[in-house]
Copies of this chain bind each other. A is one copy, B any other.
Amino acid sequence: MKLASLKDGSRDGRLVVVSTDLTRCVPATGIAPTLQAALDRWDQTEPALRALAQRLDAGGCGDEAEVFHPIACHSPLPRAYQWADGSAYVNHVELVRRARGAELPDSFWTDPLIYQGGSDSFLDPMGPIEAASEDWGIDLEAEIAVITGDVPMGVTPEAARNCIRLVMLVNDVSLRNLIPAELAKGFGFFQSKPSSAFSPVAVTPDELGAAWDGGRVHLPLRSSINGHVLGVPNAGVDMTFDFPTLIAHAAKTRKLAAGSIIGSGTVSNRDAGGGPGRPVADGGVGYSCLAEVRMIETLLHGKPRTPFLRFGDQVRIEMLDAQGRSIFGAIEQVVARHRP
């Protein structure tokens, strides 16, 4: 089952069920007005939504069905009550640290790193990434995220597997040049992590078929900038902490309410030889953010060569199934100057 929130002038959009091939959709507002409302009563709404999805995919729904336009979409949850982003690809973390000469503590391989994100106003999947200045060091971070049901405090990773309701893609926009000073203050990210964007469609794990093992998505995540492929790392590879482990970490001292979004962190694969990944142009799987490109350049050449994103640059993030079909629709955003 695939779900989306179409823009209708309201803050949360209107819930639609989308066909597996992403060509058509049908209003689901008779079942739940919004995706959050559906998640709030998932036991009741899920069967009805699935029945509607089956009818749609079978060619039913008649006049009720509409053509599905990703540009009409908000992020599946246009605003959410919880957005916690892990950094589960420890390879990525190790690279960032190495580029600035810092050691990776051993505990980072066993104790998940997670940051509390802001969730009051996500970007649209095909909306602009607005920034007041290119000097902020605007970067993408291509990631996978899950949306949970209610998660009790102290949940085990095993029990957390059953709390995963939906899967989607994320562009965790990052302002690299604001990060060092902000992290030095000791309280984590705030200004350096502005609003994120999510894929047009969120899907139930069964839509991923064999690519979903209950904790990871075993498919390449394709990122490109201005039409050039930046990376196609496999999201199932080198993910040190799977989603149930991240959820259990987030719920250690608190419960998480239905509709909580848990991110994987930037998808990042090592090279076959165990070293840092190589660029796509050199036969590698590339990268999911420019920071990683610049780190590799710093390691190789002493300083970065690739600039961060500039006004007018286009970012595209997508995941295709084994048959080459888009699963979530594409995040496709252009960086724009913010004018107050």
Contact = CB atoms under 8 A, between A and B. Distances in A.
Interface of A: 11, 40, 79-82, 84, 87, 108, 111, 113-121, 130-132, 136, 152-154, 175, 178, 183, 185-195, 249-250, 252-257, 259-260, 338, 340
A153 B120 contact: no
Nearest to A130: B153
B190 A114 contact: yes
Given A153-B340, A154-B340, A256-B120, A187 B188 contact: yes
A187 B186 contact: no
Contacts of A154: 132, 338, 340
Given A153-B340, A189-B188, A195 B119 contact: no
Contacts of A188: 115-116, 186-189
Contacts of A338: 153-154
Nearest to A85: B187
B178 A118 contact: no
Given A121-B255, A260-B120, A81 B84 contact: no
A80 B175 CA distance: 25
Q: How many copies does the complex hold?
A: 2
A257 B120 contact: yes
Contacts of A153: 130, 132, 338, 340
A55 to B, nearest CB: 29
Contacts of A121: 81, 254-257
Given A11-B257, A82-B120, A192-B253, 19 more contacts: A80-B81, A81-B81, A81-B120, A81-B121, A82-B119, A84-B118, A115-B190, A116-B116, A119-B119, A121-B256, A121-B257, A132-B154, A136-B253, A152-B340, A153-B340, A154-B338, A183-B186, A194-B253, A195-B255
B187 A253 contact: no
B254 A118 contact: yes
Nearest to A260: B120
A147 to B, nearest CB: 12
A119 B81 contact: yes
A255 B193 CA distance: 12
Nearest to A41: B11
Contact of A249 (B120, B191, B193): B191
